[in-house]
Amino acid sequence: MPVFYTPLPRNIRLGLANLSGSVFVNNRTRDSCDFRDHRDNADNELVAHLPLQMLIYFNMYFFPFWWVSEVVMLHLKFSMLPNYYQSLLVTGVVLLTIFEILRTYLGYVGNLEEKVPELAGFWLLSFLFQLPILLFFVTDEGILILPLERAVHGIYLLFILAESAASFIALRTMTRKLTLQFHLRQFKDIQGPHAIDMAPIFALPHSRSVLPMPPDRD
């Protein structure tokens, strides 16, 4: 599998990891139940979210069509818009383009490589930045929404909502797995020295066996 490098600085990755741990990890009681139930397959379980990966894949091919449609429609109605709407629309398209490129990369890497900070960044960009801008494009009638714009914005909005929900579910699963792995490592680290110290107490002599032996005959 290829190695993906993230553009996120280390301090941002740590902040996103802490945020994901505080938001998406369950309470201690439920985590302890998961620890008892899934301790055998925690290291081998794959938690990459297939629906999220499919949404990112199709969205990656849909976005160029959305961008071309938006630029053409903006060019047609640009002279009929007030100056502040012209500035808002141009700024919105530029921000959506930048966020989409970064968001697609973070979602692709975070989901396939099971990296929580990258996937948390994908979710935050989708929910806190792209969704409000796209809702402005869809709901504000002052920008003279054309039929083609309404159609492509509606499809794009469905992608954003579906990806936000799918990434939320994927983050919950990944953080639960990482928490379980952390508890397993702690359990092994604690159990190891005690197991070594207690071994001589319960060890059998070299001449004894746990299997039934026939009585000695003189």
For residue 35, what are the contacts with CB-CB under 8 A and spacing of at least 6?
A: 180, 183, 184
CB of 60 closer than 8 Å to CB of 115: no
Question: HEC profile for 158-215?
Answer: HHHHHHHHHHHHHHHHHHHHHHHHHHHHHHHHHHHHHHHHHHHHHCCCCCCCCCCCCC
Give 38-102 as a DSSP string.
HSSSTTT-----HHHHHHHHHHHHHHHHHHHHHHHHHHHHGGGS-HHHHHHHHHHHHHHHHHHHH
| Of 128, 116, 109, 104, nearest in space to 23 by CA | 116
Q: What is the pLDDT along the chain (218 residues), one digit of tens a residue?
A: 454 455 666 666 666 666 555 555 554 444 444 444 445 454 555 667 889 999 999 999 999 999 999 999 999 999 999 999 999 999 999 999 999 999 999 999 988 888 888 899 999 999 999 999 999 999 988 898 999 999 999 999 999 999 999 999 999 888 887 777 666 676 666 655 554 454 444 444 444 444 444 555 55
What distance in Å separates the CA atoms of residue 100 and residue 44, rounded to the nearest whole number? 32
Q: The tokens 């990112």 sit on which residue?
A: 56
pTM for this model (two decimals): 0.67
What distance in Å separates the CA atoms of residue 1 and residue 106, rounded to the nearest whole number? 17
CB of 6 closer than 8 Å to CB of 118: yes
